[in-house]
Amino acid sequence: MGDGSLSQDEIDALLQGADDMISSPGMPAAMEAPQGGGALSPVERETVADSVDRAMSVAAPSLSAYLGKNVKITNAMVEVKAVDALRGEFNKQYIQVGMGFTGGVGGKSLILFNMNDAEVISSLMMGDETGAPPAELTEAHQSTIQEFVGQMLSSAATQFSERLGKPVNTTPPVLSVVNGPGELKFPGAGDLAKITFNINIEGIVNSRFYQIMEMPLAMSIVKGMQPQMGPSMQQSYQPQQQMMQQSVAQVGISPVKFPPLGEGLPSGVSGNISLLLDVPMTLTVELGRTRQLVKDILGLGEGSIIELDKLAGEPVDLLVNGKLIAKGEVVVIDENFGVRVTDIVSKDERLAKIQ
């Protein structure tokens, strides 16, 4: 952050790091993994998921232009799997496209689309607005899928490059059809990072596709996407992995100062607010709103689509007892939805709204 203070995520990381070191004389297993392989820690998996989510959001508009349909790629979920376990998960027909990155972020990856989704994409690329799967996936159709994936990862590379301030390039895409697990060409033999994306193509496809990364690529993203800190931040905060190599006395948590709760309260609000801190309140996440006629509501049925007053990609609203207190973006935590807070109403305004 530009003012030299720590964000809540950074504070949580510091506190979590200290707790882990105090509870165990050695380094936690997740942090002992070498940079080139091994399991990703939960924090590292979240970093990869956030980075590829941002990259795909940048890629979506250009893919929409290619298909002539609105494309959304969201909710990246990162898992670490052994090669044998991955082969057991992909036992149907797929289109696989091998394509990697070089430069500021480097390593190999594999994109997997199920056969039906790949056929729909190729049909749209060939100019069929209905997206009807072709009778045969010809070389021309396969070439369009290869072009689609190439555009997607090239846009991702551009996003990585902008965030890193370093050039990031892609390797040429190589496509093949997978008829069984034995034909999968995974980018490595050890543990791999499996990233699951939701893909929605305007009224035609609502499915998933997968990106399998070798561990050096995943760790390259983690290392490259760590927050860029100014001199004042570097003095007060060290990345979590560096902290784990120091003694508890060197963690440096003490410089983090929290203002008393009563500071900055608006006039008329009692400073003895601690009496209310255990009062339950309802927190609601609002995706959007719309107004409809009674006849429209009575006509709703399974499969009906309701257009909201929010644009795709806009943050959701966080309401406490119906009062707006913050905005955030939807994330996936294991199998549940969550919301990452991106913008929060000032403390004075929040207190004024919940009176």
* CA 221 and chain centroid, separation: 12
Whether residues 1 and 103 fall in one domain: no
Eight-state DSSP code of residue 334: T
**pLDDT of the residue at 2:** 46
| CATH number assigned to the domain comprising residue 110 | 3.40.1550.10
316 within some domain: yes
Q: How far apart are CA 215 and CA 83, in angstroms?
A: 12
Whether residues 56 and 72 fall in one domain: yes
- The CB density around residue 35, as the number of other CB atoms within 10 Å, is 12
Q: pTM for this one?
A: 0.55
Whether residues 27 and 118 fall in one domain: no
Torsion of CA 262, 268, 273, 275, to 10 degrees: 150
Question: Closest Cα partner for 218 from 46, 70, 75, 87?
Answer: 46
Grouping H, G, I as helix, E, B as strand and the rest as coil, residue 33 is coil
Whether residues 111 and 25 fall in one domain: no
Whether residues 248 and 207 fall in one domain: no
230 within some domain: no
Number of domains in the chain: 3
Whether residues 45 and 151 fall in one domain: yes
Grouping H, G, I as helix, E, B as strand and the rest as coil, residue 188 is coil
**pLDDT of the residue at 227:** 55
Which range marks the domain in which residue 10 is found?
1-32+240-253
233 within some domain: no
Whether residues 54 and 17 fall in one domain: no
Whether residues 25 and 65 fall in one domain: no
Whether residues 57 and 126 fall in one domain: yes
- List, for residues 279-310, the tens digit of each pLDDT value: 788 888 888 888 888 888 888 888 888 888 77
- List, for residues 39-95, the tens digit of each pLDDT value: 788 999 999 999 999 999 988 988 988 888 999 999 999 999 999 999 989 989 999
- 101: exposed, middle or buried (C-beta count within 10 Å: 0-12, 13-18, 19+)? buried
**pLDDT of the residue at 7:** 60
- List, for residues 243-275, the tens digit of each pLDDT value: 555 544 454 455 555 555 444 445 554 556 666
